[in-house]
Structure formats: structure tokens, C-alpha cells
């Protein structure tokens, strides 16, 4: 289907689904930041406003008109150069819930009855000097299943970035909690301490599992965080946030499936009508869109790609897997843009679900199954370009490569043991090199296997004769960012330094060192 036909089809779906009433209002400059439109405060022209499917822009007086049903959230799409108010929990206040009868009765409550819409549903924006160069924080899967794990999340991650300067806002990429939606408030209580505006999106563990249809599976999420599908601008970047979990799974009515409903695709189509082609489009959702055991509905990914084909600058952000991946989409994968499309599948703040040994702060180490330590990401934007940095929780920012090697090897003899390097942000496209004692640099071989450092962690749990505190980590997953190199046969007796380096996809060089000892072998010749 051609893009024009696709958009037209989605627009028809949009209008048919929403025509129950009309909402009117104004988007205005709240110059005194009091949250009310004062007589002298002017409306803002050309600002997008949505009901979750349709998107319209304000006229010369800042006014808009939108169709509205009985289960809608109206929201403003923040333009660059303005900021939306935040509530006392640092959650952006850019929406108004409209559910006259309230949410349906579910185990975890949704919004209460909102009654009739006011005559004017207004949105306040505060003028703001917004730089084109800015940094945002991204958290994958906080996913605490109880208050003890929420405390791990706070002390192990949040406290590390609390009060940090130079970060414009943050976003959590779904699975804010682990099935118990009463933990939304403790999660909010933790995240607000970072002290910056914090956006959220819905994961498969944030759903109302007793909902009978997908459109109602986000009722509790909406009551706490607002719309599950929305957009906003910052600098030269346009962010589109989507709930990409279909629940119940339309194939068999059980479980969930990655994908998008027609009304969500309509929202993306309608939103992009007003987004300049030179902006960077960042799509943020929970489940990655690549094909991994039929985890995402193919036609939905293709329709999304078709909508984005005329935008040369794009990026996907996802989480969900509890490992870290870089994926690249080209023509073979259905991507039709001039340049390939990158998806960063982020490592998680819960790591391997708060498992593993306890560290000095009595917090689970929780290394992920591909050997990536738990952590979070800095998204650094410069105009419509970006750089992503992964920060290992509790380690210096320079720690980007994990090296695994034997502690001791025979001096002057060959060994079958290898040096392994896990470049946490790497992919098969990267080239890693290593050297011993400032010698000649040698190329490392890319491996698709389990990280031996992670296997070593598991062996400790499996070989112990007494139960260890905490919980055994999960079984390993093949790493997509692992390299190996041989140990030279001519090592003299004593200590030697292994150094590994890489130039990343952004042109920056990282290196890491580790010592190894060569000793005289006691084995008979």
C-alpha cells in the first residue's frame, strides 16, 4: 500500500472511531506559570493537540477543536521552545483525562469519573530557552515486584543520578513495575527524586491483566501517567511514545504480542503531518520491533516503517529483553528510508530482575544474561544527530568493556584459554583490538556465544554447598557484543597487562585493561 493510501485509510479509521462529541480549548503562553489562562496571556498558533488518534493544530488565536468520545485523553504535543508544567512528582502535566463514567471496574483501579468536559479544555505552555544540544536519561525496565526491589531500584540506580545537572528530562522504557500496579506510586516516589521532568511508557508488566480488550489494558497506567500514546518535541527532536503491547494476544486470546492497533498507527500518521522532515524522529516503546521468534506483528512494523520513510533521521528506543542490543534495519528488513534505521534495545535498571550476589550496599549485582551489567543510558542530542552512552550502575562512566581472562596461565607455553571482551554498547559491526604489555595491536574475533564472565557467575551459584543470599541469575543468552583473542605462547613468568580498545559507531575510542599472571607449569613434559 502506498504511503498516501495508508495515511488516508488510517485517517478514516480515526474519524469513525471518535465522532461522539466535540472538545474545544486553547493552548496559551502561561507567562506567570500559575496554570490558568489570564486575560493578557495569548494563545499559541501551530501547536498540535490530540485525542490519541486525531491530531489538529491550533489557529492564530491558539484555539483547537477535536472529536472526543467517552474514553479519551486529550493532550498537547509540546513544541520546541516551550515546556509543559510538571506536577509535584515531576511528571509532565500535558493532558486531561476524559472518562465521564470513569474506568471500568478492574483489580487495579483506573481513573474515577471525570464528568462532563468544561467549555474550554486549555493547555498551558511556558516559554523556555531550549537548546538544540541536550541530554536525556533513559531507564529500561525498573520492574520491581515488591517494595524490597523498589528499594534496590532507588538505592542502586536512582540515587546515583539524583540531583544530577545538565540532563533535560528522563524516560522509562516500560515495565515500570512487575505486575503489581499498586507499586506505581512507590515507583513515582522514587523517580521524582531525580529532580527532572520524567516521561514514562507502558510495558507488558504494567497492564491490567483482567481487561478483556487491549484498549482497556492501560486503565491503571493512564490514571497514574496519562496517555499511553503521545508525542512531544525538544530541540530538533520529535519523540513519539507508543504502547506496543497487544493484549490479549489476538492470535489466541492468551498472553500478549508485540504490535500496534490501527488507531495507534493513525495517531502516528496524523502526528507526522505536522513534523518537519529535517527533525530526528525518536520512537520509544517497550517491545523491540525486530523479528525474534515472532515477537512483533510484521504488518505493524511495516506500516510504521512506511510512515517514516521520508524522514532521514530516525531512532528506535526499546527495552523488554533484559539484555542489550543494537539493531539496524535496511531494505531487506522492510525499511525504505535513504539511510538505515537504528534501534537501541536498552539494558535495564533491574538488570537480570534483581538477581545475583549482593554487593557492598546489599543490592543484587543483577548482571544481565548477555554479560551486560545493569545500568542506564544517556541520550545526547545535537540538532538532529544523537550519541548514546551506556552507564554501568556503580561504575565510572569510562567502564564500557568487560574483560574476562584466566588469572594465571603457563609461562612460555600455549594455552587453549582465550581473552574475551564484552563491549556493552557494541554490535557485529565494531572492531575490537587487544595487546599485551604495550605490544602490537591485534584484531579480536567477533563471537556469538555466552559471555564466560557471566557463566562464571552462574558456576558460583551452582557449585556452592550452602545457599547464597539473593537469587540465582537466569540462564545465559548469547551476547551480540562479545569478542575473543588468543593468549600468546611466549609470555614470560610474571604479571602482564591486557589492553582492549574499540572505536565506537560515533567515532570515540574506549579502552580497558586487565592483568594476567604467567607462572611456571608444574605439569610434566
Per-residue confidence (pLDDT) for residue 121, from 0 to 100: 97
Is the pLDDT at 44 greater than 60? The verdict is: yes
Is the pLDDT at 1 greater than 50? The verdict is: no
Per-residue confidence (pLDDT) for residue 5, from 0 to 100: 44
For residue range 435-451, what is the model confidence (pLDDT) as tens digits?
999 999 999 999 999 99
Helices (H), 192-233: 219-225
Per-residue confidence (pLDDT) for residue 20, from 0 to 100: 73
For residue range 125-164, what is the model confidence (pLDDT) as tens digits?
999 999 999 999 999 999 999 999 999 999 999 999 999 9
pLDDT tier at 521, thresholds 50, 70, 90:
confident
Find the mean pLDDT for residues 179-193.
Answer: 98
Share of the chain above pLDDT 70, in %: 96
Find the mean pLDDT for residues 68-95.
Answer: 97
Helices (H), 84-212: 147-153, 159-161, 184-191
Find the mean pLDDT for residues 86-108.
Answer: 96
Residue 421 CA to residue 426 CA, distance in Å, equals: 10
Residue 9 CA to residue 306 CA, distance in Å, equals: 13
Residue 367 CA to residue 356 CA, distance in Å, equals: 7
Residue 366 CA to residue 452 CA, distance in Å, equals: 16
For residue range 190-222, what is the model confidence (pLDDT) as tens digits?
999 999 999 999 999 999 999 999 999 999 999
For residue range 305-357, what is the model confidence (pLDDT) as tens digits?
999 999 999 999 999 999 999 999 999 999 999 999 999 999 999 999 999 99
Per-residue confidence (pLDDT) for residue 433, from 0 to 100: 98
CATH topology of domain 401-519: Immunoglobulin-like (2.60.40)
pLDDT tier at 523, thresholds 50, 70, 90:
low
Per-residue confidence (pLDDT) for residue 363, from 0 to 100: 97
Residues 409/168, Cβ–Cβ less than 8 Å: no
Is the pLDDT at 413 greater than 80? The verdict is: yes
From the number of C-beta atoms within 10 Å of its C-beta (0-12, 13-18, 19+), residue 348 rates as buried
Is the pLDDT at 15 greater than 90? The verdict is: no
CATH classification code of 1-128+215-313+323-340: 2.60.40.10
Per-residue confidence (pLDDT) for residue 18, from 0 to 100: 43
**DSSP element (H, E) containing 452:** helix 452-463
What DSSP line would sit under 256-296, residue for residue?
Answer: -EE---HHHHHHHHHHHTTS-TTSEEEEE-SS--S-SSS-B
How many residues does this entry show for the chain? 525
Backbone φ, ψ for residue 155 (5° rounding): -75, -30
Closest CA to 179 of 227, 142, 125, 138: 142
Residue 404 CA to residue 500 CA, distance in Å, equals: 11
Residues 355/473, Cβ–Cβ less than 8 Å: yes
pTM for this one?
A: 0.94
Q: Domain extents for the chain?
A: 1-128+215-313+323-340, 401-519
Q: In 3-state terms, what secondary structure has residue 478?
A: coil
Amino acid at each position: 500500500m502506498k504511503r498516501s493510501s495508508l495515511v488516508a485509510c488510517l485517517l478514516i479509521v480515526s474519524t469513525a472511531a471518535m465522532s461522539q462529541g466535540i472538545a474545544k480549548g486553547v493552548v496559551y503562553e502561561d507567562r506567570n506559570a500559575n496554570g490558568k489562562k489570564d486575560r493578557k496571556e495569548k494563545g499559541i498558533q501551530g501547536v498540535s493537540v490530540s485525542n490519541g488518534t486525531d491530531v489538529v493544530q491550533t489557529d492564530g488565536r491558539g484555539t483547537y477543536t477535536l472529536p472526543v468520545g467517552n474514553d479519551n485523553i486529550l493532550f498537547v504535543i509540546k513544541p520546541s521552545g516551550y515546556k509543559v508544567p510538571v506536577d509535584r512528582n515531576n511528571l509532565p502535566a500535558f493532558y486531561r483525562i476524559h472518562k465521564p463514567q470513569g474506568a471500568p471496574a478492574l483489580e487495579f483501579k483506573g481513573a474515577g469519573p471525570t464528568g462532563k468536559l468544561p467549555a474550554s479544555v486549555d493547555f498551558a505552555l511556558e516559554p523556555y530557552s531550549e537548546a538544540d544540544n541536550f541530554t536525556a536519561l533513559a531507564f529500561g525496565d525498573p520492574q520491581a515486584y515488591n517494595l524490597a526491589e523498589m528499594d534496590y531500584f532507588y538505592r542502586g540506580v536512582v540515587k546515583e543520578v539524583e540531583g544530577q545537572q545538565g540532563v533535560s528530562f528522563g524516560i522509562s522504557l516500560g515495565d515500570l513495575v512487575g505486575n503489581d500496579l499498586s507499586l506505581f506510586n512507590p515507583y513515582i516516589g522514587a523517580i521524582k527524586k531525580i529532580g527532572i521532568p520524567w516521561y514514562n511508557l507502558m510495558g507488558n508488566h504494567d497492564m491490567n491483566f483482567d481487561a478483556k480488550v487491549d484498549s482497556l489494558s492501560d486503565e491503571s497506567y493512564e490514571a497514574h501517567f496519562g496517555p499511553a500514546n503521545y508525542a512531544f518535541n525538544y530541540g530538533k527532536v520529535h519523540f513519539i511514545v507508543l504502547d506496543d503491547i497487544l493484549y490479549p494476544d489476538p492470535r489466541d486470546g492468551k498472553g500478549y504480542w508485540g504490535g500496534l492497533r490501527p488507531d495507534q498507527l493513525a495517531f502516528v500518521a496524523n502526528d507526522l503531518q505536522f513534523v518537519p522532515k529535517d527533525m530526528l524522529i525518536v520512537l520509544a516503546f517497550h517491545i523491540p520491533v525486530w523479528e525474534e521468534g515472532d515477537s512483533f506483528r510484521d504488518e505493524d512494523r511495516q506500516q510504521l516503517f512506511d510512515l517514516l520513510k521520508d524522514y532521514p533521521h530516525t531512532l528506535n528506543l526499546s527495552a523488554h529483553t533484559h539484555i542489550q542490543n543494537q539493531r539496524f534495519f535496511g531494505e531487506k528488513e522492510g525499511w525504505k528510508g535513504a539511510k538505515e534505521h537504528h534501534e537501541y534495545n536498552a539494558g535495564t535498571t533491574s538488570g537480570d530482575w534483581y538477581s545475583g550476589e549482593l554487593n557492598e550496599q546489599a543490592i543484587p549485582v543483577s548482571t544481565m544474561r548477555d554479560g551486560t551489567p545493569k545500568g542506564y543510558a544517556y541520550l545526547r542530542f545535537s540538532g538532529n544527530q544523537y550519541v548514546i552512552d551506556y552507564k554501568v550502575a556503580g561504575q565510572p562512566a569510562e567502564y564500557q568493556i568487560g574483560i574476562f581472562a584466566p588469572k594465571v596461565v603457563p609461562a612460555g607455553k600455549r594455552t587453549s584459554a582465550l581473552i574475551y571482551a564484552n563491549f556493552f554498547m557494541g554490535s557485529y559491526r565494531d572492531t575490537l583490538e587487544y595487546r599485551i604489555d604495550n605490544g602490537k595491536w591485534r584484531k579480536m574475533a567477533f563471537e556469538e556465544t555466552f559471555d564466560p564472565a557471566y557463566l562464571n557467575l552462574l558456576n558460583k551459584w551452582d557449585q556452592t554447598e550452602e545457599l547464597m543470599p539473593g537469587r540465582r541469575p537466569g540462564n545465559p543468552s548469547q551476547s551480540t557484543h562479545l569478542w575473543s583473542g588468543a593468549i600468546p605462547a611466549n609470555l614470560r613468568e610474571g604479571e602482564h597487562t591486557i589492553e582492549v580498545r574499540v572505536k565506537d559507531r560515533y567515532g570515540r575510542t574506549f579502552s580497558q585493561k586487565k592483568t594476567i599472571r604467567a607462572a611456571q607449569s608444574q605439569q610434566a613434559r
